[in-house]
Amino acid sequence: MAAHSQIEAITARIVERSKPRREAYLDRVRSAISRGPHRAVLSCGNLAHGFAACSPSDKRDLAGDVVPNLGIITAYNDMLSAHQPYETFPAIIREAAKEAGGVAQVAGGVPAMCDGVTQGQPGMELSLFSRDAIAMAAGIGLSHNMFDAVVFLGICDKIVPGLAIAALTFGHLPAVFIPAGPMTSGLPNDEKSRIRQLYAEGKVGRAELLEAESKSYHGPGTCTFYGTANSNQMLMEIMGFHMPGASFVNPGTPLREALTKEAAKRALAITALGNEFTPAGEMIDERSIVNGVVGLHATGGSTNHTLHLVSMARAAGIHLTWQDISELSDIVPLLARVYPNGLADVNHFHAAGGMGFLIRQLLKAGLLHDDVRTVYGHGLDAYTVEARLDTAGGIVRQPSPEESGDPKVLARIEAPFQSNGGLKMLTGNLGKAVIKISAVKPERHVIEAPAIVFHDQQELQDAFKRGDLNRDFVAVMRFQGPKANGMPELHRLTPPLGVLQDRGYKVALVTDGRMSGASGKVPAAIHVTPEASDGGAIARIMDGDMIRLDAAKGTLEVLVHAAELAARTPATADLMQNEFGMGRELFAIFRQNAGTADNGASVFA
Ligand SMILES: O=C(O)[C@H](O)[C@@H](O)[C@H](O)[C@H](O)COP(=O)(O)O
Ligand code: SF4
């Protein structure tokens, strides 16, 4: 089925806007392809170093350029529950490669930050920049030029975006992303949040809070809310980087291991040495990117992807804008209610039909491009399936059901939860911003209230504890942008603002910083651009100014006459304490060179 006319029009607009950059990118990819297979260009010395530690049979295989060599880029560490299962994946991949007549080598590791551990801590100020550092680290591994394809082991927030930037930078190579899956369901996310609000009000102690948190985050696998990490899995599947049905299968299960082996074998099958060559730079095009944005809206995905998807697209020579994202939001309905957009978690989403059902519904309405390339072949229709184990331990794929396994979690396209998607762009005299409305009650989509200005999360938490915030107000949290302090997530503001909202006050947040993908219930205009440290009008707001946030109209305004606003001296902030400690001194060059949020807040041109 042809895509919806507006989907086609927005895609055509992106193609046109990207043309010069995309053509130059594809020229580079094709030039690199023409020089492959890549080990052939290495000297004997280079090659000897490249396989010195290999077995004699692997050395024989790698000495020539007939046997494909699979590079593994791994983000394994024990810090992220989502990445801990990767410890055993290289051995599984090597075994699968041998079975497939190939070789596999770990090309390199990349760092991976857990935003849950650093939330509200100084380390969070490295989080966004870690995305580009991950892309650079992956590039170091792949620069050995020993590989015919790559598998990427990464899941969480900045890791998949960073690895995708690397995959597209090395677009002459096929790239398959291998997920490890969500942890099994623990304490429901809404119950965890309720106990957090009780703690914020001083009604329960740390012991009760830690018990609730530990019951929620209790084992290996991705946290089960629909934040950035699980938005990443959705994106990798709907953009064709995953094997069909791979995203949300729990770690440590036979099906998970079978999917890992299958992905490794598939990566070896789509190299230039075979007859299904699928280089990542040609596989991902403007249609794949639009499919990603559509999936984001249909699932109420993370606001962080208004930064990451823009950066990922640019790595493939594609210029995606917030306007594109916002207009797609107007035509893509919300089909999933997964926390914070509902009470279910990703295990429930998967059990209700998961990605296969979602893709089938969106294809049915022409809201996805079906005519795309994927690691699995041609056509997104191949992803309207569920992966199962057959009696021999192999993988069999069955068509996804026509009916949702739980209509409260996954809706049919004929009866969506909301007629439009989750992410809107706001414009006005404060510049641009984004807001996630899929988790905000409709009666809170328009907020007009006096500003209270803060330069630090702790200031707001202290004011809350003093009882100074029991009123209607818009919290203006500024000097939180990429140039100021690395654009941290301000998710610790959710419990106090949530308490005040539940007490019946009209509250909202306006910030040049970020929120977690797991944030949601409080209306928040985030990623305000230009940021306060870059001449943004947000630095001219004063306590008491009326702020109007209107997600319906897509506007964000400070209700002060233009002449008066222009005449004001912009506020400044003492950012000295953000330049040292917890490694922040190592990222000064990132703060100095970070681009604007609407361009992904990246250090890459
Ligand atoms: O963007 C995201 O999805 C978040 O960064 C998420 O990965 C982070 O871990 C949250 O902070 C977890 O939520 P809690 O902090 O509420 O546990
Ligand atoms: S989802 Fe967030 S909290 Fe959970 S492991 Fe990943 S980064 Fe850490």
Query: Which of residues 35 and 108 earns the better pLDDT score?
Result: 108
For residue 1, pLDDT over 70 is answered with no
For residue 422, pLDDT over 90 is answered with no
Closest ligand to 306 CA? 1
Q: Does 114 belong to an annotated binding site? A: no
For residue 321, pLDDT over 90 is answered with yes
Which atom belonging to ligand 2 lies closest to the Cα atom of 156?
A: 6
Task: Give tens-digit pLDDT for 53-96.
Answer: 999 999 999 998 889 999 999 999 999 999 999 999 999 999 99
User: CB of 156 closer than 6 A to ligand 2?
Assistant: yes
pLDDT at 207: 92
Nearest CA to ligand 1 atom 9: 116
Task: Give tens-digit pLDDT for 232-286.
Answer: 999 999 999 999 999 999 999 999 999 999 999 999 999 999 999 999 999 999 9
Q: Does 54 belong to an annotated binding site? A: no
Nearest CA to ligand 2 atom 3: 116
Nearest CA to ligand 2 atom 8: 114
Task: Give tens-digit pLDDT for 460-512.
Answer: 999 999 999 999 999 999 999 999 999 999 999 999 999 999 999 999 999 99
Locate the domains of the chain by residue range: 5-35+68-184+219-399, 185-218, 423-599
Closest ligand to 160 CA? 2
Opening angle at CA 343, ends 86 and 186, nearest 5: 45
ipTM, 2 dp: 0.97
Opening angle at CA 149, ends 145 and 153, nearest 5: 105
How far apart are the CA of 382 and the centre of ligand 1, in A? 32
pLDDT at 600: 98
Place of tokens 């926390």: 339
pLDDT at 437: 86
For residue 159, pLDDT over 80 is answered with yes
Cα–Cα distance between 549 and 558 in angstroms, integer?
9
Confidence of residue 135 (pLDDT cuts 50, 70, 90): very high
Element (H, E) at 105: strand 103-109
User: CB of 541 closer than 6 A to ligand 2?
Assistant: no
Q: Which residues of 520-553 are buried (b: 16+ CB within 10 A; e: fewer)?
A: bbbbbbbbbbbbbbbebbbbbbeeebebbbbbee
Please compute the mean of the pLDDT values over residues 360-373 and round it to a whole number.
98
Amino acid residing at 326: S
How far apart are the CA of 519 and the centre of ligand 1, in A? 8
Number of neighbouring beta carbons within 10 Å of residue 321? 18
User: CB of 69 closer than 6 A to ligand 2?
Assistant: no
Element (H, E) at 424: strand 423-428
How far apart are the CA of 518 and the centre of ligand 1, in A? 5
DSSP conformational letter for 182 = B
Please compute the mean of the pLDDT values over residues 382-407 and round it to a whole number.
95
For residue 40, pLDDT over 90 is answered with no
Say if residues 155 and 251 touch (Cβ distance below 8 Å): no
Q: Write out 493-560 in H/E/C secondary structure.
A: HHHHHHHHHHCCCCEEEEECCECCCCCCCCCEEEEEECCHHHCCHHHHCCCCCEEEEECCCCEEEECC
For residue 37, pLDDT over 80 is answered with no
How far apart are the CA of 230 and the centre of ligand 2, in A? 9
DSSP 433-489: EEEE-TTS-GGGSEEEEEEEEESSHHHHHHHHHHTTT-S-EEEEE-S-SHHHH---B
User: CB of 229 closer than 6 A to ligand 2?
Assistant: yes
Instruction: Write the CATH number of the domain with boundaries 423-599.
Output: 3.50.30.80
Q: Provide the β-strand partners of residue 70.
A: 104, 149
User: CB of 157 closer than 6 A to ligand 2?
Assistant: yes
DSSP conformational letter for 91 = H
